[in-house]
Structure 1
Amino acid sequence: MASYLQIRGRLHNHVDMLRVALVAAALSGDRSIEVMNLSALSSVQWQMGKVGEVFANMRRALSIAEASGDRESEAVCLSRIGLLSQSVGRYTEALSHLERALVAHRETGNLFEEGVALSTLCVVHLALGRDRVARDVGRTALLLHEQLNHGVYMVTTMETIAAAELELGDYAAATDVLARAMRTTRDIGFRAGEAMVLMRQTDADRRMGRLDDALEHGVRALELLWTIQRPAVEAEAMNILGAVHRERGELTAAMSHYRNAVELAERIQCRLELGKALAGVGDVLAQLGDLDEAAEQWRYALRHHEAMGTPWAETLRDKLNPADPAAEREGA
């Protein structure tokens, strides 16, 4: 607790210093420094969970960049707002900002930022169920990251490409990409990347029916994630492990992972993983025979997925309104 309070105290001090710097930049008329300080302030506020202030400051930074004709800063602001929007499940907003950012990055020739924007766009398309588009955008991003030798972005992008391949049912391609991602993450010592790849391998193993391997990889991923600060990835790993335990018939363990994912996703405002976790809780309750409570959890999950526009909404509607076999036979 003391350590947590120390970290919070340092963050508040950092915010105070950045606000002083913002006033100084505004008084001096140096708009580029003002944009830079707003971006830095937003990064600290994001760590503090002040999502509303983060968006407000980044939109202010974008307005300043646009008004001053600073196309490069404008592009970076658009990318950051796109990333923030993706992180909290505002996918339509994310698409709009990222597509504008890509145009600007290509105008200014900023290959690094173009690659980052493409990687974020890949995640957005995947969340919206546009799996083939996500894979293709991810491959384009990967080429840029390879060209610039940015190992961290190579790993995170390969992990997302693998997720798209899994959704497309190409398990061999997903396995190949994950093996390459693991080699890269170990070459560069990227522990968060190793955890992400293990998490995605867990999902691949589960889909291929290798539940023992899935459990082993999932536990290793979660143990790694407990030592680093990647809460959104941790929430996703909990959801995947919940599915593994549920398919193994270990419903108590499954429920524990799903409920932990609900708590974490609510705290960090990760709406996608919250929606998945609530659906998972409903699935376990249904297997336990508590159909009324299961339906209640599915309805909570449905509200989130409908708001985000994700394909899980249709799956949840089917669970809440199962087709009547007799009616289907009569219709035939």
Structure 2
Amino acid sequence: MTDVVFVDRENEIETILMHLESAKKGEGRILLLGGEAGIGKTSLMEEVKRMLAEDEVIVAEGRCVLGGGAVPYAPFTEIIDVIGEKHTPMPIREEKIGGAPLGLLGVSSAGAEGGIALLGMGEDEERKARMEDLSRERGQVFGEIVSYIRNASQTTPLMLIIEDMQWIDESSAQLLIHISHEIGEMRCLIIGAYRVEEVEENSPAYKLIESLSSARSVYLMELKGLSKEDVKKLIEEMTGIEAPPENFVEIMYRRSGGNPTFVKEALRALLEDGLARTPWDVEALERLAMPKTVREVIGRKIKKLPNACIKVLKYASIVGEDVDYEVLRRIVNMDEDDLLDALDTLLEEGILAESEAEDDEDVYVFTNFQTRAVIYNGISRSRRRITHRKIGEVMENLYSSDMEKWVYHIARHFYMGRDYEKALKYSIAAARRAKSVYAIEDAIQYYKWALRSMEKLGRKGEDMLTVLLELGNMYSMTARWEEAIPYYTRVIEGAMEGYPRYEAIARIRLGDTYRQMSMWEKAEENLDKGLEISERINDKSLMAEAERMLGYIHWRKGEYKDAVEHYMRSIGYAKEAKDEHVIGVNYIDLGNVYSDLGDDEKAIRYYNMSLEILEKFKDYAQIARAYNNLGDKAMKRGDWERAVEYFKKCEETAKKIGSMDMIAWAEFNTAEALARWGRLDDALKHCRRSIDILSRIGDTLGLGAAHRNMGLIYRYMKKWESAEDNFEKAVKILRDIGSPYIYADTLYEYSLLYLDTERHDKAFELAREAKKIFESLGATDYVRKIEDIIKDAKGCSNKQQSRVTGA
């Protein structure tokens, strides 16, 4: 029986080649190729590569790892290696390991031996860790990778293929989003192939596809099942027999759903394995009871192998995706000749393949990741646990001089093997390394393994507090505030036993988390306690941090004098601590105060001063805030185009670090600018996206502002009922959280809706309430505007007044 690897797909090939031609002209793009397992994504890519064999194109592939918990940036590491072999643009960083750029891998050239101690053990180290800005460093690494790819594509066009993107790790997903912002000007086509049925909601792949689906230079293609005619053609080509019986084709088509891998494996089971009495034994086909997925077909194939091969596959599946021969030899407990014979058989069967990487001469890989999953899940938990521990011990001995490269794997095996002492040691090392390259989700996983290991071992003290603090920080920076709170709370409880500095840090971080959630009372309570402890231990950096956040709360509450006093004290402490970065952030906050007071010139000056400082630190989170607020000032001037440009910069900057809250704020502010510009349909799309994000992350203040803008959009559309519904939602949210400035502005916009619909009494009521609040805040410009509305009420003025939604 012929092993046909490809049939049909002419339209899909034409589409891919069309995108590649555009990329060659400098109009790079990303193509997201979805389809169920076995539908032919890999075969399609192989056919395209075959057609490009003589073309002037560098093709590089990288594969994502099952479970997402192995090595951050795994697909890009492979891709960069291939590019480096075929082309030599300016390197990302001088240091290299295994041909992969050190900056991408996040490896310290100083080595890792002795470098796996917990963070925060000493005051200086903790201060340094706190001062390091995650967004800055990750942005630098991402920028270097983009430059690397751009430089390579200038000489030779690139086609980069990411296989099994449904398993993409969070770090690779963020990197791909970053690349998407720049790819439109590169000679590069990136194809991300993924199994649609394995993209779980809220997984990195799900969020990535959702983020990229509406982006420019990104295209979607879903690979459907073969038609019945194509299933018939595949059967003919594999068997060499024309015109198979229609009933056989019909049953095969129905059972396979047009999945080509399913068809091929079913034919092999029926014909090669002797399950059918005749070539077209329909009864045998029906008795085969093929499942919907390919997994059980693979399981049937595995059972046909010799026992020695099955034994080798079981151990190999526990080792992982890449199976080092020396590790396998040491754990499999077989005569070496028998082991080599079994490996040869598995190579012949196409279940394993030898790694093509130059430095992996004795490494085997599974040709089908689902094969490994079927085998692994068929092993008892006890045997898996014992084997994981044994593998960890073998790797620890083998790779003691190259620990940076293998620490992720070693941590996993010791944790899965329940050797909690070693799991703790290596999980901390893996978490630190993942954090250093902003693989945040991976860092969270390893810190959780470290925490569980400590709990199993009964460990407490500074080590426990440090891990808890790191987990809180990881969740907070990704706007998962509800998940951050329990970790900070545990630090506070544990720190009361003689660790005041940890309590101060946790109080301040917890206060900041409540601040992000617009829970002002809880935020202020924790920040006050954190400040009190910081003053007692005389930590100027913590004092500056607490003072600034207290200033923010007073600003949101409309207490401008108190806000300025806190900001100025924060700046003073920051100067004593020689922390220019905190000074830059304070400039944004001071700009917000003067913006509310109507001194736009002063506000803009502070925003620009902050950008000058923060750009030196590559602090993308705060840079995004500054751009957002500059956009707000442009909107107030009626310069809608300039406003949209600033909000776009805000969103693009926020996407570099995955700051979902700032992405959402940029979206709803863009919506308002577009609405006032007259582009209502576009405005509606932006506002809906922002509400979806804000609802998911729990940003109550932002959600209120977004509903306010949705009401404004529907008002311009003259959809009065929808406008009123959204204004009511906004008023309720903003009144409850106590943010008077935005609340008053929302009442003002709401009053215009009632003027439009000639409900003058209601309009007067809302306008008077808004005027009263603005008078108490000293916002004289807005008081005058509301007075004009009240005077012109009979004329139902439709003036388009802007408001401020600074971040």
Range class of TM-score, shorter chain = 0.7 to 0.9
Of 303, 313, 321, which aligns to 2:783? 313
Partner of 2:190: none
For residues 747 and 694 of structure 2, what CA distance do their matches in structure 1 show? 21
Kept in 2: contact 1:14–1:44 (CA 8 A): no
Give the Å deviation of 1:53.
Answer: 4.7
Which residues in structure 2 correspond to 1:1-332 (within 5 Å)? 17=490, 20-21=493-494, 23-25=496-498, 30=500, 32-43=501-512, 46=515, 51-66=520-535, 69-310=538-779, 311-322=781-792
Give the Å deviation of 1:87.
Answer: 2.7
Kept in 2: contact 1:259–1:277 (CA 8 A): no
For residues 152 and 177 of structure 1, what CA distance do their matches in structure 2 show? 14
Cα distance change of structure 1 residues 324 and 284 upon mapping to structure 2, 3 Å threshold = closer
For residues 794 and 516 of structure 2, what CA distance do their matches in structure 1 show? 48
For residues 771 and 588 of structure 2, what CA distance do their matches in structure 1 show? 27
Partner of 2:420: none
Deviations 1:64-111 (A, max 9, x none): 544654433322221011111123332232122112322332332213
For residues 191 and 48 of structure 1, what CA distance do their matches in structure 2 show? 13
Kept in 1: contact 2:674–2:682 (CA 8 A): yes
For residues 482 and 697 of structure 2, what CA distance do their matches in structure 1 show? 20
Deviations 1:97-146 (A, max 9, x none): 11232233233221332222222223222222222222221122122222
Give the Å deviation of 1:162.
Answer: 0.9
Cα distance change of structure 1 residues 187 and 94 upon mapping to structure 2, 3 Å threshold = same
Q: Which moved more, 1:128-137 or 1:175-184?
A: 175-184
Give the Å deviation of 1:259.
Answer: 0.5
Cα distance change of structure 1 residues 169 and 103 upon mapping to structure 2, 3 Å threshold = farther
For residues 125 and 131 of structure 1, what CA distance do their matches in structure 2 show? 7
Partner of 1:330: none
Cα distance change of structure 1 residues 107 and 207 upon mapping to structure 2, 3 Å threshold = farther
For residues 284 and 110 of structure 1, what CA distance do their matches in structure 2 show? 47
C-alpha RMSD over aligned residues: 3.2
For residues 324 and 10 of structure 1, what CA distance do their matches in structure 2 show? 52
The share of aligned pairs that are identical, in percent, is 20
Report the 3-state secondary structure (helix = DSSP H, G, I; strand = E; otherwise coil) of the residue aligned with 1:226: helix
Give the Å deviation of 1:163.
Answer: 0.8
Report the 3-state secondary structure (helix = DSSP H, G, I; strand = E; otherwise coil) of the residue aligned with 2:627: helix
Deviations 1:184-218 (A, max 9, x none): 33343333332222212112212323333322322
Kept in 1: contact 2:517–2:701 (CA 8 A): no
Cα distance change of structure 1 residues 10 and 74 upon mapping to structure 2, 3 Å threshold = closer
Cα distance change of structure 1 residues 50 and 110 upon mapping to structure 2, 3 Å threshold = same
Report the 3-state secondary structure (helix = DSSP H, G, I; strand = E; otherwise coil) of the residue aligned with 1:276: helix
Deviations 1:151-192 (A, max 9, x none): 222222211111112223444433332333333333433333
Give the Å deviation of 1:13.
Answer: 6.4
Kept in 1: contact 2:492–2:502 (CA 8 A): no
Q: Unmatched 5+ residue regions in structure 1?
A: 1-6, 326-332
Kept in 1: contact 2:760–2:793 (CA 8 A): no
Cα distance change of structure 1 residues 227 and 90 upon mapping to structure 2, 3 Å threshold = same
For residues 531 and 482 of structure 2, what CA distance do their matches in structure 1 show? 29
Cα distance change of structure 1 residues 250 and 84 upon mapping to structure 2, 3 Å threshold = same
Match for 1:282: what amino acid?
A: S
For residues 118 and 144 of structure 1, what CA distance do their matches in structure 2 show? 10
Partner of 2:161: none
- Structure with the largest fraction of helix: 1
Partner of 1:3: none
Q: Unmatched 5+ residue regions in structure 2?
A: 1-479, 796-807
For residues 183 and 56 of structure 1, what CA distance do their matches in structure 2 show? 34
Kept in 2: contact 1:218–1:237 (CA 8 A): yes
Match for 1:76: what amino acid?
A: E
Cα distance change of structure 1 residues 11 and 226 upon mapping to structure 2, 3 Å threshold = closer
For residues 639 and 518 of structure 2, what CA distance do their matches in structure 1 show? 37
When the two structures are aligned, how many residues end up with a matched partner? 315
Partner of 2:45: none
Give the Å deviation of 1:49.
Answer: 6.7
Q: What's the TM-score, normalizing by structure 2?
A: 0.36
Q: What's the TM-score, normalizing by structure 1?
A: 0.81
